[in-house]
């Protein structure tokens, strides 16, 4: 629950912080203070903590059906649309990077940010449940970076991205990478308002992973097969994996890369530049 | 989300249920609710049993805590852009009998709040 206002709205428990050189985590006490993004529409005068003083035992209670007919994720989708609109207005390209833990998201970002140094302004938003480690790795490249800690939350949502962008303040025409929480399940359901969705799978995972997490692969604009430098040492069926991805998402581009050795990173940049 | 509130990390249906509860409270207020009807398609990627489990936790202390949860689970239906066939499917790996994966999903991806019953 939010310690300041006691609300339990979406995004509570989330901490958003700009990471600077001399970093000790100094979380904002109440990061969503300024415009308190989780707007609840309480009726004037209506108390917040719903007392449950149910009148004892009314025998047969009349009920009345209210039709709502709305998308469960309507609120997230609305906030995502607002993010998308704002990004477009400012010519900012935002990439939502998703994968299982350890597939190489942060490593890819370190190389990519370095490759763009002096060419195009690149900034990063790091989503992790608890630590600042990934943001500090990015910070070491010289890029501006905001860490979002989601606490128990296992994905970023559009409201968190809005908060992150506010803190990051990316300049017009810049390139913003958003490293989602390492998880191949629910980030699939949450539109952030990004320009493109990139899913990474590495050759140290099972080649049948796309079949196990079909929803994630079906939302991808680009799939990166990472750690191909390890192919000689692992038993990974590349053709099986690529075939499954093509079945799930015929429109996705697929690139084979090594974030540590640099293979395929030129094509990755070409893809980014064309967005 | 709901980070400090609960520690059911990794249960991704939690966020879906939180969205349901938030949306309902926003629309009909904090008063007691007798029943909630959701539509969760078989191709939505959301597990209905987890939704029920999370609902008990999230609804606790809200107007929805004693609500009955009714969930409709529409089946998947697809149109093949290759051969023009229309068919049922409940498997998230989507392939037409003709081998094509170029499908229009007509139904099964629903994630909707249909209605609530209030006292
Ligand atoms: N051999 C090899 N190792 C890699 C490659 N890319 C990443 N790694 C290694 O894989 C490990 C995990 O990489 P990260 O970049 O931290 O992965 P991540 O996806 O950011 O992980 P989380 O943020 O925890 O989800 C590190 O030890 C990297 O050095 C690659 O292309 N080849
Ligand atoms: Mg990382
Ligand atoms: Zn608050
Ligand atoms: Zn509140
Ligand atoms: Zn999640
Ligand atoms: Zn067909």
List pLDDT tens digits, range A211-270: 989 989 999 999 999 999 999 999 999 999 999 999 889 899 999 999 999 999 999 999
**DSSP letters for chain B:** --TTT---TT-THHHHHHHHHHHHHHHH-SS-EEEEEEEE-TTSS--HHHHHHHHHHHHTTSTTTT-EEEEE-PPPEEEETTT--EEE---SS---TTS---EEEEES--EEEEEEEE-
CB pairs under 8 A between A and B: 152
Tokens of A26: 């100094």
Q: Both tokens of residue B54?
A: 């999370």
**pLDDT digit string (tens) for A114-142?**
999 999 999 999 999 888 999 999 999 99
Structure confidence at residue A162 (pLDDT): 97
For the segment A79-115, what is each residue's pLDDT rounded down to a tens digit? 999 999 999 999 999 999 999 999 999 999 999 999 9
Domains, chain B, in order of start with CATH, read: 12-75+108-118 (3.30.2320.50)
pLDDT in tens, A147-157: 999 887 889 99
Report the pLDDT value the prediction gives residue A57, as an integer from 0 to 100. Answer: 55
Q: What is the largest CA-CA distance in chain A?
A: 74
B37, B70 contact by CB (below 8 A): yes
Residue A183 has pLDDT above 60, yes or no: yes
Tokens 């904002």, residue located: A28
Mean pLDDT across chain A: 86
Query: What does the pLDDT look like over A49-63, one tens digit per residue?
Result: 555 555 555 556 688
Q: What proportion of chain A, given as a percentage, has pLDDT over 90?
A: 68
Q: Is A271 helix (H, G, I), strand (E, B) or coil?
A: helix
pLDDT for A24 equals: 53
Q: Does the structure show a pLDDT above 50 at A6?
A: no
Q: Is the pLDDT of residue A4 over 50?
A: no
Using one digit for the tens of pLDDT, what is the confidence trace for B94-105?
A: 788 898 888 888
Q: Output the ligand 1 site: residues, CB below 6 A.
A: A 99, 101-107, 134, 182, 226-227, 229-230, 258-260
Residues of chain B positioned with their CB less than 8 A from the CB of A12: 1-5
Distances (CA, A) of A209 to A6, A180, A181: 41, 18, 17
10-residue stretch averages of pLDDT, chain B, 119 residues long: 36 84 92 96 89 91 94 94 91 82 89 95
Cβ contact A73:A189 at 8 Å? yes
- Name which of A12, A41, A48, A72 to mutate to probe chain B: the one with the most chain B Cβ atoms within 10 A of its Cβ: A72
pTM for this predicted structure:
0.82
Residue B91 in 3-state DSSP? coil
Interchain contact, A66 vs B38, CB within 8 Å: no
All structural domains of chain A with their residue ranges: 74-273
A217/A214 Cα distance (integer angstroms) = 5
> Which tokens belong to A149?
């800690």
Q: Distance, CA A108 to ligand 1 centroid (Å)? A: 8
Q: Give the residue, B81 or A271, on which the prediction is more confident.
A: A271
Give the pLDDT score at A152: 79
Residue A203 has pLDDT above 50, yes or no: yes
Is residue A42's pLDDT more than 50?
Answer: no
CB contact under 8 Å between B26 and A40, yes or no, is: yes
Q: Which residue of chain B is at minimal alpha-carbon distance from A47? A: B30
Nearest residue in chain B measured CA to CA from A211: B93
What is the mean pLDDT of the segment spanning A13-29?
68
Each residue's pLDDT tens digit, B8-30 = 334 578 889 999 999 999 999 98
Kindly give, in sequence order, each residue whose CB lies less than 8 Å from that of residue B43, ignoring residues fewer than 6 positions away: B76, B89, B90, B92, B94, B105, B108, B109
- Does B12 sit within 8 Å of A183, measured CB to CB? yes
DSSP-based three-state secondary structure for A145? strand
Q: Cα A145–A133–B8 angle (5° rounding)?
A: 105
CB within 5 A of ion ligand 3: which residues? Answer: A 2, 4-5, 7
Domain A74-273 of CATH type 3.40.50.300: yes
Is any Cβ of chain B less than 8 angstroms from the Cβ of A22?
no
Q: How far apart are CA A240 and CA A210, in angstroms?
A: 10
């Amino acid at each position: 629950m939010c310690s300041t206002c006691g609300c339990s709205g979406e995004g509570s428990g989330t901490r958003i912080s700009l990471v600077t050189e001399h970093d000790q985590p100094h979380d904002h006490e109440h990061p969503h203070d300024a415009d308190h993004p989780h707007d609840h529409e309480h009726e004037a005068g209506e108390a917040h903590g719903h007392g449950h003083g149910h009148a004892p035992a009314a025998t047969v209670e009349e009920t009345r059906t209210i039709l709502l007919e709305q998308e469960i994720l309507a609120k997230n989708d609305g906030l995502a649309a607002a993010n998308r609109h704002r990004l477009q207005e400012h010519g900012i390209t935002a990439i939502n990077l998703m994968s299982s833990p350890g597939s190489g998201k942060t490593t890819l970002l370190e190389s990519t940010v370095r490759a763009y140094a002096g060419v195009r302004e690149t900034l990063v938003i790091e989503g992790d449940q608890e630590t600042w480690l990934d943001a500090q790795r990015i910070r070491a490249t010289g890029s501006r970076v905001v860490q979002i800690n989601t606490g128990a939350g296992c994905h970023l949502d559009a409201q968190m991205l809005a908060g992150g962008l506010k803190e990051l303040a990316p300049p017009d025409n810049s390139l913003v990478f958003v490293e989602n929480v390492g998880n191949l399940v629910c980030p699939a359901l949450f539109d952030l308002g990004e320009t493109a969705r990139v899913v990474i799978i590495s050759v140290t995972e099972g080649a049948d992973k796309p079949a196990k997490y079909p929803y994630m692969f079906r939302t991808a604009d680009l799939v990166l097969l990472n750690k191909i430098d390890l192919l000689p040492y692992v038993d990974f069926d590349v053709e099986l994996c690529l075939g499954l991805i093509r079945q799930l998402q015929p429109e996705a581009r697929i690139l084979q890369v090594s974030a540590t050795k640099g293979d395929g990173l030129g094509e990755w940049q070409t893809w980014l530049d064309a967005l | 989300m709901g980070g400090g509130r609960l520690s059911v990390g990794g249960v991704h249906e939690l966020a879906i249920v939180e969205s349901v509860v938030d949306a309902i409270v926003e629309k009909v207020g904090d008063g007691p609710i007798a029943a909630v009807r959701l539509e969760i398609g078989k191709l939505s990627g959301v597990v209905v049993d987890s939704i029920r489990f999370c609902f008990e936790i999230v609804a606790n202390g809200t107007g929805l805590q004693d609500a009955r949860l009714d969930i409709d689970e529409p089946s998947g239906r697809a149109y093949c852009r290759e051969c023009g066939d229309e068919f049922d499917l409940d498997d998230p790996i989507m392939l037409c009998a003709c081998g094509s994966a170029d499908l229009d999903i007509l139904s099964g991806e629903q994630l909707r709040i249909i209605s609530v019953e209030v006292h």
